[in-house]
Structure 1
């Protein structure tokens, strides 16, 4: 019988590691993503998603950010989903920028925005750095990166393999490619650490886990910011490791949405209760929640993450001002 052909990784070739088997990346001791059978069970098994309103406007939308926040000041503004503007140490940093109408390989099909970007692309201040956590369409949007490159030519930091995808659309992009545990020295005394999170990746049906996913720690002369684009709770392993390595954080930017049904989503998307536990485990002084209220990806109602977060904070004895679910366009000034 002919030997079965090993799949070829189109994005990355490199040595094996504790989270790369030579072809695919994986979460050590973790839960793999659901199978096609699981997906069919979810989509057609009778668990109907909540009905979102066609439009979910925000009272904060349309606010224009200041050009820069100098020194120890720290302001975070929600653009939408996992796209945020972080302003500190005289730098403007964008995370997972998605300004497109849909998170899909198609412009006419797939999850559609329920509100416009909280900061319009034309109203962005000069961008100094872009962080891309992984390659799912709601985090890596090539059209947005192409527009940002044309306007700002900002450097991009992203985990292994994602650079190949980005370069297909933005050939002259300045990309730093990192693995878990790497540190990237930037300017103004800022260092970006690439850290583990519990997730997966794919742009199609044949490239599952062939590009790496990651969290980032932004270390400035005055503080540390822990940004996670997407993660399952994974028994708090990564939160504990982050606290052990970095000591604690002035700010955590944590996902709180896209978590139902739990039997399907638990391994890859934490819920608000788990996010609150992450705040405790990682010694996070202030937190903001993202990954909710913009694109309907899962079953929960549009504002359910906000109510679930408030309940979890109450149960944990943590004040609601310590962990806020940001709405589109909303900005927070984080105390020193």
Structure 2
């Protein structure tokens, strides 16, 4: 019998995923700067997190890899930290002692937890993840674009219980609106392929400040566009828009 699977959004793509007693933190972000705003309240401080069994990080951008906050907040630096090589080198420099470098289709285990990197594409090197324990499977999309290789995830891993996907379609204005994150329609298309029991959008409230939104980034901040797209192309899939701090139990 599989264990309870729960997820709590902290903010942005920072999620606390619980496979029974196993607690996994994704893409930590607990602070902000002049050009990086979560656009929503941060649910917990690092000190309030409690025990974390593994930290999973998709890429090195500050709003997904806020390692200074983890260190300052007192996270145990023996906590396994899993990410691509670009992240692992930074983590070691910050004092993390159990750093696991994984690239696409490579896996590592922490007790009964298995974390497999899956393909991704972003403005910098990125991986996405399949996170598994006790017969439950989560796909974590970081803030990747939709890449064709992700269509192989169900074939390789079987049923997906929970899919956590970015939806804001972030484009960079100085780069002729080059897109670096999947948009609502693309995320819905991937959702239709993954066929999760539950899909939760993230990475949509982010903004670059009043000036930054005008000259640096262009985004879709309304997750209802994703929910509507899934309802249109894969109506059998349950989508929940989850505010920070709300714990969701996955059937």
The separation in 2 between residues aligned to 1:317 and 1:214, in whole angstroms, is: 25
Verify the 8 A CA contact 1:80 1:294 in the aligned structure 2.
no
For residue 161 of structure 2, what is the aligned residue in structure 1?
Answer: 250
Verify the 8 A CA contact 1:247 1:283 in the aligned structure 2.
no
The separation in 2 between residues aligned to 1:250 and 1:290, in whole angstroms, is: 16
Q: 1:299 aligns with which of 204, 213, 218?
A: 218
For residue 274 of structure 1, what is the aligned residue in structure 2?
Answer: 186
CA offset digits 1:174-207 (Å, max 9, x no partner) = 20111211111211x2211111112231xxxxxx
CA offset digits 1:146-186 (Å, max 9, x no partner) = 235x3333110111132212222x22432011121111121
Verify the 8 A CA contact 1:293 1:327 in the aligned structure 2.
no
The separation in 2 between residues aligned to 1:87 and 1:80, in whole angstroms, is: 16
The separation in 2 between residues aligned to 1:111 and 1:261, in whole angstroms, is: 14
Higher alpha-carbon Rg: 1
Verify the 8 A CA contact 2:46 2:75 in the aligned structure 1.
no
Is there any run of 5+ residues in structure 2 with no aligned partner, and where?
none
CA offset digits 1:98-149 (Å, max 9, x no partner) = 11122xxxxxx3223433311233321211110011011211113123235x
Query: CA 1:180/1:261 → structure 2, altered by over 3 Å: closer, same or farther?
Result: closer
Is there any run of 5+ residues in structure 1 with no aligned partner, and where?
1-70, 103-108, 202-211
The separation in 2 between residues aligned to 1:317 and 1:116, in whole angstroms, is: 31
For residue 324 of structure 1, what is the aligned residue in structure 2?
Answer: 240
For residue 122 of structure 2, what is the aligned residue in structure 1?
Answer: 199
Residue 174 of structure 1 pairs with residue 98 of structure 2? yes
The separation in 2 between residues aligned to 1:96 and 1:122, in whole angstroms, is: 16
Q: 2:44 aligns with which of 119, 136, 139?
A: 119
Verify the 8 A CA contact 2:47 2:75 in the aligned structure 1.
no
Deviation at 1:228, TM superposition (A): 1.2
TM-score scaled to structure 1, two decimals?
A: 0.66
2:47 aligned counterpart, secondary structure:
helix
Q: 2:225 aligns with which of 273, 286, 308?
A: 308
For residue 146 of structure 2, what is the aligned residue in structure 1?
Answer: 233
